[in-house]
DNA sequence: CTAGAATCCGAACAATTACTCGCGTTTGTC
DNA sequence: GACAAACGCGAGTAATTGTTCGGATTCTAG
């Protein structure tokens, strides 16, 4: 087993037919992973589910892990695109930090609730090679960068350390929504969870003396 | 491969000799995992490193995953014990929320920095069967329970929702320290990280009107 | 239409690895 | 010291699974 070294694509498809094959393989892999778990996602089974032969599988994926990485990349990129769009739109009308935070947390929650089975397999059950983690880090970096620009033009936010703050906001929200969707917090409903996280973030980002209710 | 169904211990050791064998196997597994990654942790290699035969290995562990679960249980239990002790000690002298938070965050950070290679393999690289996640959830529940009692006897903390708050504090701290130790936040030093998380938690837990600098 | 490139196929191969079983050794008990 | 139970051993087995390869098929450019 495991004789091929890398997780890079073996042959890049040039014809539509080939691109369709790659797509159908990825889709099949997602189904198999979601339904039967990561261990059941053997190359032969994925190929069978996709309706193609193992040969075709290995023409585009050097090994099983490559499929995992490709799936995560796809999943992540789509999610980040939508959140980025939302953030940039909401950042256009300034002043409403709470509304922005609420949109953000809801978006992250929705992201995790889309295809939760697949999400669980991809990010919890499956082994995480280093390469996979870099994808996640890159995605977080992207969001943190946007948040940095938002924080910098926001009144009442300390400029010093706002790079750190941006990272904390992103990592914290990601981690908490992830756990909430997959394991829940007792019987806490989603709405209450979101409000609590929004409160948390708002109190963090507002300087204490800038708190609206703090001024007499 | 993988013909045995469960991850329960096969034979419980009664003699000291056997208990020593179990220990040496676990220790060897920890070394192999930390040094060469999860995939390299085959039963034969672990047994070899432990200086025992595969037969002995399978006398106490029905399969490879059982070792993983045992390691995580051990790792977690030791860590939780120390943090619980610290928390209960610090909670005895009330009033100093910030000091308590700082101790807590430092303790969590220290926990993650102890044997980081093993920690990375156990919690990132290795696959996470459902059973393993229950261990983590139980551990978190334990800490959340302590935090609940701390929060309830703390002035300036909203009693309503303090169960949720306790869970958030624990999950948030765990997730952030985990990520910080394993991947860092740019070049942020540990001290700055801890202070930022303490600030975050403090602002969250203190009612806005109770903020010391908020009062005129 | 046709050469050649791209794609597809799937039986067969190779390598790994989880796991067993029968036997020798040590420990505990009377 | 003798019997039984617990323990340790490790070559061997069986099954899974990743991966290849040579030929059939489909597309595309000229």
Q: Is B134 on the interface with A (CB under 8 A)?
A: no
Across the interface, whether the CB atoms of A164 and B209 are under 8 A apart is answered no
Q: Cα(A21)–Cα(A67) distance, rounded to whole angstroms?
A: 13
**Does the structure show a pLDDT above 90 at A148?**
yes
- Name the nt closest to B16 by C-alpha to C1': C27
Q: Cα(B121)–Cα(B142) distance, rounded to whole angstroms?
A: 24
Q: How far is the CA of A45 from the C1' of D21 (A)?
A: 20
**Which of A23-27, A31-35, A124-128 is the least confident region?**
A124-128
In this prediction, residue B212 carries a pLDDT of 45
- Is A61 within 7 A of strand C by CB distance? no
**Does the structure show a pLDDT above 60 at A66?**
yes
Q: How far is the CA of B17 from the C1' of C26 (A)?
A: 10
Per DSSP, A155 falls in state T
Provide the b/e sequence for B191-206 (b: ≥16 CB within 10 Å): eebbebbbbbbbbbbb
- Is A38 within 7 A of strand D by CB distance? no
Triad B152, B157, B159: Cα angle to 5°: 55
Q: What average pLDDT score do residues A136-141 get?
A: 95
Token pair for residue A145? 């960068």
**Does the structure show a pLDDT above 60 at A135?**
yes
Q: What average pLDDT score do residues A34-47 get?
A: 91
State how far residue A180 is from chain B, nearest Cα, in angstroms: 10
State the distance between the two ends of chain A, measured CA to CA, in whole angstroms. Answer: 70
In this prediction, residue B197 carries a pLDDT of 97
Strand C near-CB residues (< 7 Å), A 21-40: 21
**CB-count burial class (<10 Å; 0-12, 13-18, 19+) for B154:** middle
Across the interface, whether the CB atoms of B133 and A127 are under 8 A apart is answered no
Q: What percentage of chain A exceeds 90 in pLDDT?
A: 64
Tokens 């220790």 belong to which residue?
B27
A 150-209 residues inside an 8 A Cβ radius of B: 161, 163-165, 167-168, 171-172, 175-176, 179, 183, 185-186, 188, 192-193, 196-197, 199-200, 203-204, 208-209
Q: How far is CA B95 from CA A103, A181, B155, in A?
A: 36, 35, 8
Q: What average pLDDT score do residues A142-171 get?
A: 87
> Looking at beta carbons, which residues of chain A come within 8 Å of B192?
161, 164
Q: Which residue has the higher pLDDT, B169 or A154?
A: B169
- Is B127 within 7 A of strand C by CB distance? no
- Is B4 within 7 A of strand C by CB distance? yes
For chain D, which bases have at least one atom within 7 A of a protein Cβ?
A: 6-12, 15-22, 26-28
In this prediction, residue A46 carries a pLDDT of 94
Most confident of A48-57, A58-67, A156-165: A48-57
In this prediction, residue B181 carries a pLDDT of 96
**Which of A23-27, A160-164, B35-39, B199-203 is the least confident region?**
A160-164
3-state secondary structure of A148: helix
All residue ranges of chain B with pLDDT < 70 are: 1-9, 156-160, 208-216
Q: Cα(B105)–Cα(B202) distance, rounded to whole angstroms?
A: 12
In this prediction, residue A209 carries a pLDDT of 58
| Other Cβ atoms closer than 10 A to B56 | 17
Q: Is B19 left (phi over 0), alpha (psi -120 to 50) or beta?
A: alpha
**Quick one: which residue's CA is nearest to D16's C1'?**
B1
Q: Is A137 on the interface with B (CB under 8 A)?
A: yes
Q: How far is the CA of A44 from the C1' of C1 (A)?
A: 39
Q: Are B181 and B173 in contact (CB under 8 A)?
A: no
Q: Alpha-carbon Rg of chain B, whole angstroms?
A: 21
Q: How far is the CA of B18 from the C1' of C29 (A)?
A: 19
Q: Are A50 and A28 in contact (CB under 8 A)?
A: yes
Q: Which residue has the higher pLDDT, A60 or A160?
A: A60
In this prediction, residue B3 carries a pLDDT of 41
B12-32 pLDDT per residue, tens: 889 999 999 999 999 999 999
Q: Are A61 and A67 in contact (CB under 8 A)?
A: yes
A91-115 pLDDT per residue, tens: 787 778 899 999 999 999 999 999 9
- Is A86 within 7 A of strand C by CB distance? no
In this prediction, residue B4 carries a pLDDT of 42
- CA B81, chain centre distance (Å): 10
The mean pLDDT value of chain A amounts to 87
**Does the structure show a pLDDT above 90 at A6?**
no
In this prediction, residue A10 carries a pLDDT of 65
**Does the structure show a pLDDT above 60 at A212?**
no
Q: Which residue has the higher pLDDT, A13 or A142?
A: A142
């Amino acid at each position: 087993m495991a004789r091929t070294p890398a997780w890079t694509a073996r042959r890049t498809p040039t014809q539509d037919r080939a691109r369709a094959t790659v797509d159908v393989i990825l889709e099949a892999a997602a189904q198999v992973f979601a339904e039967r778990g990561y261990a059941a996602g053997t190359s032969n089974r994925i190929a069978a589910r996709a309706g193609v032969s193992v040969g075709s599988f290995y023409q585009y994926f050097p090994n099983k892990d490559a499929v995992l990485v490709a799936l995560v990349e796809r999943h992540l990129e789509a999610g980040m695109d939508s959140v980025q769009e939302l953030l940039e739109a909401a950042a256009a009308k300034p002043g409403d930090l709470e509304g922005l935070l609420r949109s953000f947390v809801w978006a992250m929650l929705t992201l995790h609730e889309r295809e939760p089975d697949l999400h669980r397999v991809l990010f919890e059950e499956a082994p995480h090679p280093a390469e996979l983690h870099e994808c996640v880090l890159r995605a977080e970096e992207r969001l943190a960068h946007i948040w940095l620009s938002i924080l910098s033009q926001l009144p009442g936010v300390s400029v010093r350390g706002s790079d750190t703050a941006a990272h904390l906001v992103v990592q914290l929200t990601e981690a908490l929504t992830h756990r909430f969707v997959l394991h829940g917090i007792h019987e806490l409903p989603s709405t209450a969870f979101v409000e609590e996280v929004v409160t948390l973030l708002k109190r963090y980002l507002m300087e204490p003396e800038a708190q609206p209710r703090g001024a007499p």
